[in-house]
Chain A
Amino acid sequence: MIQTELASWDDPETRPLIEFVNVTKRFGDFTAIDNQSLKIYKGEFFALLGPSGCGKTTMMRMLAGFEMPTEGTIRIDGLDVSTVPPNKRAVNMMFQSYALFPHLSVWDNIAFGLRREGKSGQALTARVEEMLRLTRMEKFARRKPHQISGGQRQRVALARSLAKAPKLLLLDEPLGALDKKLRQETQFELMDIQESTGTTFVIVTHDQEEAMTVASRVAVMDEGKLVQVATPDVIYEAPNSIYVADFIGDVSLISGVAKSRVPSDVAPQDSAGGQPSAQQQDTPRQPQPNAFGAWLHDTVFEPVLGARSKSDEQAVEPAQQEDTVTDTVRELPAGGIAIHWADGQDPIIATNADPCLDGKTVNFSIRPEKIGISKARPDALNAFQGKVIDIAYLGHVSTYHVVLTNGLKIMAQVSNTRRISRRSITWEDDVWISFSSTAGVALEH
């Protein structure tokens, strides 16, 4: 991600709009929020993400003023608001149930907060009309909430909460009640409205896709703690824990012991298994059957002649590679760690990992779309043999579940750029999975 200017959360000079300082919230014996600190900046679209019961809603309700922190302070715009009641805060909330007043029309619902502010006449009308236009609800102004659809109610709720032009808008699972298609459209609408009004949005959601789509930053929560607070790409590409890696998207986890790779010692310590290494670059390539030959052997000759030799002397011609990661042996980078994950298997090389992990047990986490799958041995730094046990066809992608020789299950995702009838890999096929030396993340806990 290229950033020309420093984002507000990276700039130490920026004053945060919201500040949680060592906030703890207990309900009886239950600790909902456990001594957490968090800064949210002006203009952000901030997502609190986590499973139900993780404390994300409590965080939001404390911002709205419906709950008081047991310990610590909450500051909005520099002012301590910990004990300020909800009706005295420049914060508005859009409720999960929308909480539209059933006895008032759409128009009166939107006008409700403005009337409490003492606005009337021309100013009131102008603001309500503006909100109706913003949410494209002009035609329904005179309807009662039970006379409009779920998506329209959602927009009225948004209009009502934005009418008072709050400094901060809180959205509690705002799209939970909408069907998937409408939810996706509304996500982009929300982003547009957030951008055009310049309001700081804090959204609570358990839907990781929603959080990734709309938010500038995401806080992943678990059991009252903020596990990781970062931009969506960092959360996805560089999760700081197994919890985050597992919660966001699909991931395969491989646990093993890390050995630091000395920069000069490019070859992995354990090269017994014929690991593609620096030495190999001089070895002349051996002929290898082409795809048809391999198929012919596998299907016709195999029962008679036995398994085809797939020794490493027979390196793959680059042209025969399919969907493999082009991390060639020649460009083997130094540094990082090697993860010994199974006896008799080549270690996983992770050059982006911290060599300080040396000797520790780590979990290597890798996303399915970062893994290539091919029938022939690919020319990749990390390549392992396995068998396809399951294929999940999702239309645009297919996820292959591959069991490695030691029984470990790995997911590999392939974009279905070709029609499915031309798919070359199918159930029970022996395949190679491969990934580059920077594709995964080594996690300590």
Chain B
Amino acid sequence: MKRFTWFNATSLTIGFAFLYLPMIVLVVYSFNASKLVTVWAGFSTQWYVQLFTNSDFAQSALVTLKVGLASASIATILGTMAAYVMIRGGRFFGRTLFSGMIYAPLVMPEVITGLSLLLLFIAIGLNRDAFTIILAHTTFGMCYVSVVVSARLSTFDRSLEEAALDLGCSPLAAFRLVTLPIIAPAVVSGWLLAFTLSLDDLVIASFVSGPGATTLPIQIFSAVRLGVNPEINALSTLMIAIVTIGVVTASLITKYTARRPMDA
């Protein structure tokens, strides 16, 4: 451990201030009694109450949740399958290309992903609603899941699966009884990551959503264009809380499993 120095303390403060000061301001003003966002007029939770009675927000929150759950689940299944094939499938033609291509959407600008999905949906004549958002979110969620799961699988002792086969398991039973329980933490944290990203997403969702399906980020974005009000602050505070819980849980699961000796 480094000793305390004024230089360390200052840089730490400045760094974290950059990261978290805007959020702190937002959270503090969500409890403001005044309707003016820049004037502090005492503590109040009235905006939270108002938020829950606003049917527009409730409606879009429901859509967001539905999209998040569905896309994270599909992405987890597909991503795990992709990771399994990449790590366990042995050498097959184009394997390096494929594993590179799995990572590509992670660095692709969201605008391009969104636009290309939009063009695809129009081309195949798919009506844009919650379903298309689920498809779009599955697409990028899957990449994250496969990255997390393949990291776990690559340190997984192959002989565990062989031992299961040797003791009488069919390949499917070996996966279900041995591989899956061992990689489960990675799968769960992949799911949480995909879910969180789906809740956050504005750019892709605004490309592929239709009139009937507005997600919360879209709702907030359009509301802010008419002017910021404390209700938005309250909503944003709730979203920060949910995302924080998701990310912290995912990283705790990863950390806990990394500490456990898996080669035993």
Contacts and interface: CB of A to CB of B under 8 A. Distances in A.
A405 B179 CA distance: 65
B167 A97 contact: no
B169 A101 contact: no
A97 B166 contact: no
B143 to A, nearest CB: 27
Contacts of A164: 167-168
B160 A64 contact: no
Contacts of A73: none
Interface string B158-170: 0110111111111
A140 to B, nearest CB: 13
Interface in A86-125: 86-87, 91-93, 95-103, 112-113, 116-117
Interface in A109-163: 112-113, 116-117, 144-146, 153, 160-161
A153 B181 CA distance: 20
Contact of B168 (A101, A113, A153): A113
B260 interface: yes
B85 interface: no
B178 interface: yes
Contact of B169 (A64, A87, A92, A103): A87
Interface in B147-176: 157, 159-160, 162-170, 173
Given A97-B159, A116-B173, A102 B167 contact: no
Nearest to A160: B167
A14 B164 CA distance: 33
Contacts of B163: 93, 95, 99, 101, 160
Contact of A145 (B162, B177, B264): B264
A65 B159 CA distance: 13
B168 A102 contact: no
B119 interface: no
Nearest to B91: A28
Q: How large is the interface on A (under 10, 10 to 19, 20 to 34, 35 or more residues)?
A: 20 to 34
A417 to B, nearest CB: 46
A112 B167 CA distance: 7
Contacts of B167: 87, 92, 112-113, 116, 160, 164
Contacts of B51: none
B168 A87 contact: yes
A34 B168 CA distance: 30
Nearest to A150: B264
A53 interface: no
A344 interface: no
Nearest to A153: B264
Contact of A87 (B159, B170, B177, B261): B170
A145 B263 CA distance: 9
B86 to A, nearest CB: 21
A112 B164 CA distance: 8
22 contacts: A64-B162, A64-B166, A66-B162, A66-B165, A86-B162, A86-B165, A87-B168, A92-B167, A95-B163, A97-B159, A99-B160, A99-B162, A99-B163, A100-B264, A101-B163, A102-B260, A102-B261, A103-B181, A112-B177, A116-B168, A117-B168, A146-B260
